[in-house]
Each structure stands twice: as C-alpha cells, then as structure tokens.
Amino acid sequence: MARQTDTGVALQDFPAGQVTPPSTVVRAEALRKYFHSGAQQITPLDGIDFSVERGEMVSIVGPSGAGKSTLLHLLAALDTPTSGAVYFARNLLQDFREAELAEYRNRSIGFVWQRHHLLPDFTASENVAMPLLVGGEPLEEALRRAREGLGEVGLADRAGQRAGELSGGEQQRVAIARALVNRPVLLLADEPTGDLDERNAEAIFQLIEHLHRSHHLTSILATHNLWLARRADRVLVLEHGKLTSGTEVLAGVGSPAAGIGAPAPGGHA
Ligand code: ADP
C-alpha cells in the first residue's frame, strides 16, 4: 500500500523483492550543517553529496567527532540541515509536514543507536511494541508482532523480561527488533556495536547483516571499526566535512580491533 504525499509521489512502501523504481532510497545533495559553540563555528558536514540504492549496505567511517551522527540525524529527519537537501526516494524531507515527518520516522526508517535507549522498567516485548503503539496498533497485536521480532533476534525466551535486566548485547538485540518492528525501508545505525566487547560486536554485526538481507533493507551504518565497516557493500569516509570513497582507508585494515583515527579537533567521543 503506497501512501501519497501532497505532490503525488509514493512516500514509502517499496514491496520486498521487487525492483521498484526509483531505486535510490536516500540521497543527500550539497548537505551542510554548522553548529555554533561559543564564538567557534563547527562544520561537521560541508557539502555532502551521496546516494544509497535500494538493497545496499553502506558504512560510513570517520574519526570520533567527524559528523557521522550529525549526518545520520539529518537522514532520519531528527535534525534539519543548515543548507542542502535530503531526499527519501524522490521526496524532499524539507517538504514534509509534521505528520509526514512523524510517519517517516516511525514507519519508513529504523534507527539503532550506540546506546540502546530502551525503557528499563518495561519488558523486552513492550519496548519492541512501542513504535507500533505510537502508530496506533492495538496492544495485543503490537505485542504479538513484538514477540515475533524478538524471535528474529534470538530473544523469544526473553520477551517478558524487563529490559534493564538484560545484558548489553541482549539490549542491543531488543533495540534492533524495535527498529525493525514497523518493517522500515531504511535502517540507520549509529555505532551499533560501539558499546560492546569484540565478541558481542561481531554477533550484533552478523545479526544486522542477516536482517539487512531477510528484511530487504537498505542500510547505512556509522562506525569507526574498519574491520566491521569493510563488510558493507560500500564504505564511505567522513572527514573534514566531506564524504569520500573508503577504498584507500581500507587498504591498511589488518585486525578486528582496527579503528579509524584519533578524535577530531573539537570533537567528542
Ligand atoms: P561523530 O558521530 O562522527 O562522532 P558528531 O556528529 O557527533 O560526530 O559530531 C560532529 C561535530 O559536531 C562534533 O565536533 C560535535 O561536538 C559537534 N556537534 C554535534 N552536535 C552538536 C550540537 N547540537 N551543538 C554543537 N555542536 C555539536
């Protein structure tokens, strides 16, 4: 079921397994974002042009403070650019009205943060059901779909457990199930393995790779772990406000712990 915007263009719903034009799921054009910190202007994004095609998994690497989160937030319409444009399919996000933006965030994209942002006193299934409830799904159906989602991330037996009682790796699995419960087109993940030890990071990355395929997702992952990043279809480097191909950076990657760069000047961890 394709919903139409005011301009008559389908806003979402790219039926799984079909090559449905337009094949570009997300596109940034001359994207700039400035912040002011005291008298200083910080420019994490200084003219970003890129697009991601349907079904692609793209990783964005760059030192801490380079602007990876800022970029993902703009793609997710969680923040607005200083100038430039973000398109979802052929739709300019800046043209969306509030209700359309809310629906875009709730249904078209799934967002996974470095820290899971679960509600610790609610059960795993209640946490996963949350986006469905926000979207008006009846409670029983929302919980049923949440349990199904938890099964997909290997946590069927933890559905009734409070999120705060789960391990870090399990909590991130719940967060991934929550991100995908509405069957989004686009998965955005911001350092999804950043808080985990090597073994859990590998397991979570494998899970994302599996779900990327089984959910026919288009995925954009920000990470400073080059070892994981290079498993994507395409690697882009964000540095000094620009996005470039990661081919050179990847040439020297040798160990699972390989990361990129020291924190950028004025950046934060
Ligand atoms: P990364 O995700 O690559 O670590 P971020 O996107 O979090 O980088 O940050 C990029 C730069 O923008 C950093 O210097 C950060 O301090 C700055 N920054 C991010 N958000 C804000 C904000 N709301 N106000 C001021 N500066 C910000």
Mean pLDDT, consecutive 10-residue segments, the chain of 269 residues? 39 43 86 93 95 96 94 97 96 95 95 92 98 95 98 97 96 97 97 93 96 97 91 95 84 61 39
pLDDT value of residue 16: 42
Q: Rounded CA gap, 86 and 50, in Å? A: 10
Q: Which of 36, 68, 70 to mutate to test the pocket of ligand 1 (most atoms within 8 A of CB)?
A: 70
Q: Rounded CA gap, 222 and 114, in Å? A: 10
Domains assigned to the chain:
42-251 (3.40.50.300)
Is any atom of ligand 1 closer than 6 Å to the C-beta of 69?
Answer: yes
Residue 101 burial (C-beta neighbours within 10 Å; 0-12, 13-18, 19+): middle
pLDDT value of residue 258: 59
Is any atom of ligand 1 closer than 6 Å to the C-beta of 262?
Answer: no
Nearest-CA residue for ligand 1 atom 19 is: 70
Q: Rounded CA gap, 28 and 140, in Å? A: 39
pLDDT value of residue 252: 66
Nearest-atom number in ligand 1 for the CA of 224 is: 3
Backbone phi and psi for residue 231, each to the nearest 5 degrees, phi listed first? -80, -10
Is any atom of ligand 1 closer than 6 Å to the C-beta of 194?
Answer: no
Among 78, 69, 52, CA closest to 218: 52
